[in-house]
Each structure stands twice: as structure tokens, then as C-alpha cells.
Amino acid sequence: MNAPQKKLVLDHKKLIEAEAYRHSQFIPLHVMQAEAYHLANDAAVSFDPKLGNQFSTHLTNQLKKLSRFTTQHGNVVRLPENVQFKINNLNKAENELKDQLQRPASVAEMADATGMSIQEINHLKQQRKKEIAMSNVVGTPIFVEDNTNDEWMHFVYHDLPERDKLIFEHKTGFGGKPILDNAAIAKQLGLSVSTVANRVKMITEKLAEGWNS
């Protein structure tokens, strides 16, 4: 990416992070942010002002792919249908109230908007947090796709210890390696699943750091 392209991404940081947050209910936020910045960088590179569109429009269209990403990788969450329905309503009300109030809504405000009790709101928020944490440990997020020519990806990869390089390869498909979930990688390396999840988080955050700079 050249300097003008990086500036396009930086100037639209608020939009990128808002979309990442909006789609992150069932995928760890740092994973969704990494994917959102990856899509934003691609949008900046492919943007052609001669076509007459604003970059914000082009970027918004690219960020729609976050919905597909959520569908592909959010299925690690296993919630009863009635609980999932209530959490979806809570998420919708929470986002709408935030837009209206220009601040996070209180539990009382969310209870009033959804017709749920304060106790139920608190329970659902705890359930949501638990499921997000679980997806971070046992999930299989592929936080970059078709990125083998990305300079920053190569930089991050070559700066990793050998063990983390293998994790990187099997979480991204880098170098043509098969995508594996955390449990399969843990078995291959003789590590715990939680240790692999922590290394995945570190690598993801490193990638996001470069895509956000």
C-alpha cells in the first residue's frame, strides 16, 4: 500500500471499527478487527476515483463481506435457539440505543427497550461474554484470506518463532498449508488448546497492528 491508500484507511478508521464491532457478537473482536482492516486495505488498493464513487461507498461494499465471515466462522457458538433469539434482540437494541444516545446504553435502558427484566439482561450479557470467550479458545477463525502477497503478512510470518510459524500457516493457509482448528494444531505441536488460542490471538493482533498503521 502506498501513502495515499494508507491515508484512505486511516481516515475511515471509525467506519471500519464500527463495522467490526457490529459483526463481532459471536467472534472475538480482535479477530473481526483484523479481518475488517484487511478488507479495508484491499478496498483502498482497488479503489478507482475515476469511476465516480466515493471511497466510503466502495469501502462499505467491501465491509459487507464481514457478514459472510461471521457466518463462516461464528458457527463455533452453540446456543439454544430461544437464548440465541433473545441475544439477537439484545444486540439489536444495544446497537440502536448506542446510535440514538451516542453512548453505550445502561442495563435499565436496554431492559426498557426490549421488555426484558434487568436480571435477564445481565444474564444474557454474561452468556454472550461466555460464548465469545469460548469461541476464542476452541474456534477456528481464519483471520486472513488470499493474502499470500501481502507484505505485512510476510513480515509477521518471518518474525515468528518456528512453533508460531506453523500455527500461522495452519490458521491462514499460508504457503498452501491446510487450515486446521486449534485442537488439531495443539495435538500436532503437543500443546494445550488454550495455549494455541493465545498464540493465535497474538498473531492476529500483530497482523491487525500492521493493517491499522
- CATH number of the domain at 122, please: 1.10.10
Q: What is the pLDDT of residue 80?
A: 63
**Segments in the chain forming alpha helices (H):** 3-11, 13-22, 29-46, 55-63, 65-73, 81-101, 107-114, 118-138, 151-158, 162-172, 182-189, 193-211
Q: What is the pLDDT of residue 52?
A: 83
- Closest by Cα among 86, 133, 148, 129 to 111: 86
Taking the C-alpha atoms of residue 2 and residue 180, their distance in angstroms, rounded to an integer, is 33
My answer on whether 41 and 111 are in the same domain is no
pLDDT digits (tens, 9 = 90+) for 142-196: 344 444 445 677 778 888 899 999 988 887 777 777 777 788 888 889 988 888 8
Q: For residue 108, what are the contacts with CB-CB under 8 A and spacing of at least 6?
A: 118
Percent of the chain with pLDDT over 90: 16
My answer on whether 152 and 86 are in the same domain is no
Dihedral sign from CA coordinates of 19, 84, 144, 168: positive
Mean pLDDT of the chain: 78
My answer on whether 61 and 132 are in the same domain is no
pTM: 0.44
Answer whether 66's CB lies under 8 Å from 35's CB. Answer: yes
Taking the C-alpha atoms of residue 60 and residue 39, their distance in angstroms, rounded to an integer, is 10
Q: What is the pLDDT of residue 142?
A: 39
- Domain span at 34: 1-76
Which of 27, 60, 76 is at the close of a domain? 76
User: Number of structural domains, the chain?
Assistant: 3
Please list the rounded mean pLDDT of every run of 10 residues in the chain (213 residues).
Answer: 84 89 72 82 89 90 84 54 76 86 91 92 77 42 44 79 88 75 86 85 74 52
